[in-house]
């Protein structure tokens, strides 16, 4: 895959359309989602991005759309009301986070919504960062039918039974045998959630079950090192990580 | 939202947010990714009225040392208040 960054041709027809839609989750609720898609008839692969609606995630959705993907970013916190993203996240955090069962249902419906588009090429991936990385692994393991999974430093994929909560009763690693899609993982060695030891444990489980995966680790990066609005941003690692993401999506969704 | 560390306590009082004073009924105390401070993770204190929606909160982010200092200051103030005999 050639270098991705800044390789547009100056005379490309590269418009995109973005805005809020709603779709029906597999548990029946209507869910808001931010949709970003290239203009034109396609065919375009779909990517379903998590966890939510902070400004940077909308930007990531548009970035992926700029590179030829139809992106649906569901508002997994939709059931808790609306307001500024950090206020809604605070309310959801106090409630223990979105229940895993709801997340899987919302993601499965989003997968089907993307695949049903007339512009779809039939392929749908799921990608998330932080808690969204955990959700991506969880949803792809419990609901089959995804063609690629990208886990960006998802914390809590590995968890002890003592860490189980009503919302998160089972750690996603327990479903590894059921994962059918190839998995890309991007991690920083300075991260504490997931720690390097937890990434090792996840990798061992994937290997044990003969899963197709690729993990990339960055020694000078911690958690969330793509986030340019935080002090944790590591530009060289982030640019290399983005290159890995685009190469993986191109390989599995084209 | 990576840690799932969160506790809630009922409270009776009021907080001042962007739209002025409003009653508060809970304080949510979490430890997770910071939003407004420079910390990677922080104590997240939200004095809130969930019935008024997600925006009805007064948010504070502190590091752990600051949290301990807050507990000590609260404790000292509560003890002095009780000694003073002044009514709530």
Stretch (H or E) spanning B43: strand B41-48
Task: Give per-residue pLDDT as tens, A117-151.
Answer: 999 999 999 999 999 999 999 999 999 899 999 99
pLDDT at A72 over 60: yes
Stretch (H or E) spanning A228: none
Task: Give per-residue pLDDT as tens, A208-220.
Answer: 999 999 999 999 9
Cβ–Cβ contact B64 with A under 8 A: no
> Could you tell me which residue, A148 or B39, shows the higher pLDDT?
A148
Residue A175: partners with Cβ closer than 8 Å, 6 or more residues away: A138, A141, A142
State how far residue B64 is from chain A, nearest Cα, in angstroms: 16
Closest in A83, A92, A232 to B40, CB measured: A232
A156 to B30: CB separation less than 8 angstroms, yes or no: no
Q: What is the pLDDT of residue A14?
A: 78
A-chain residue closest to B46, CA distance: A90
Q: What is the mean pLDDT of chain B?
A: 93
Q: Confidence class of residue B15 from pLDDT cuts 50, 70 and 90?
A: very high
pLDDT at B47 over 60: yes
Q: What is the pTM of this model?
A: 0.90
A vs B: CB pairs below 8 A: 76
Closest in B2, B3, B54 to A90, CB measured: B54
Residue B80's alpha-carbon distances to A190, A211, B19, B71, B77, in angstroms, are 44, 63, 32, 14, 5
Q: What is the pLDDT of residue A186?
A: 97
| CA dist., res. B32 & res. B34, Å (int) | 6
B-chain residue closest to A135, CA distance: B2
Mutate to test the interface with B, among A93, A99, A227 (most CBs of B within 10 A): A93
Contacts with B, A 176-195, CB within 8 Å? 193
Q: What is the pLDDT of residue A177?
A: 97
Q: Give the residue-averaged pLDDT of A61-90.
A: 91
Cβ–Cβ contact B17 with A under 8 A: no
Task: Give per-residue pLDDT as tens, A35-62.
Answer: 999 998 888 888 877 766 788 999 999 9
Out of A6-20, A44-58, A156-170, A187-201, least confident range: A44-58
Chain B partners of A94 at a C-beta cutoff of 8 Å? 6, 8, 26, 28, 30, 46, 48, 50
Q: What is the rounded (10 degree) CA torsion for B24, B27, B31, B32?
A: -30
Partners of A185 in the β-ladder = A151, A215
Q: What is the pLDDT of residue A2?
A: 59
């Amino acid at each position: 895959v050639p270098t991705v960054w800044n390789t547009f041709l100056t005379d490309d027809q590269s418009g995109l359309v973005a805005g809020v839609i709603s779709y029906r989750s597999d548990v029946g609720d209507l869910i808001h989602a931010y949709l970003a898609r290239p203009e034109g008839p396609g065919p375009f692969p779909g990517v379903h991005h998590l966890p939510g609606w902070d400004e940077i995630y909308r930007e990531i959705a548009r970035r992926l759309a700029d590179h030829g993907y139809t992106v649906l970013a569901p508002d997994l916190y939709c059931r808790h009301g609306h307001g500024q993203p950090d206020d809604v996240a605070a309310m959801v955090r106090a409630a223990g986070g979105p229940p895993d069962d709801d997340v899987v249902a919302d993601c499965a419906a989003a997968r089907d919504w993307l695949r049903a588009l007339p512009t779809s090429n039939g392929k749908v991936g799921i990608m998330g960062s932080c808690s969204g990385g955990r959700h991506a692994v969880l949803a792809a393991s419990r609901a089959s039918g995804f063609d690629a999974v990208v886990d960006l430093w998802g914390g809590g994929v590995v968890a002890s039974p003592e860490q189980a909560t009503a919302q998160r009763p089972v750690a996603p690693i327990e479903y590894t045998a059921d994962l059918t899609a190839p998995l890309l993982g991007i991690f920083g060695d300075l991260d504490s959630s997931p720690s390097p030891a937890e990434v090792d444990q996840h990798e061992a489980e994937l290997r044990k079950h003969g899963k197709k995966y690729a993990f990339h680790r960055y020694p000078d990066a911690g958690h969330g090192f793509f986030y340019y609005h935080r002090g944790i941003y590591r530009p060289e690692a982030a640019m290399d990580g983005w290159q890995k993401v685009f190469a993986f999506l191109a390989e599995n969704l084209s | 939202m990576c840690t799932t560390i969160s506790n809630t306590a009922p409270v009776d009082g009021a907080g001042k947010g962007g739209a002025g004073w409003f009653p508060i009924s809970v304080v949510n105390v979490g430890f997770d990714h910071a939003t407004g401070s420079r910390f990677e993770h922080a104590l997240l204190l939200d004095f809130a009225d969930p019935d008024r929606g997600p925006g009805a909160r007064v948010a504070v982010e502190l590091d752990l040392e600051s949290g301990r200092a807050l507990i000590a200051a609260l404790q000292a103030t509560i003890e002095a208040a009780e000694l003073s005999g002044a009514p709530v």
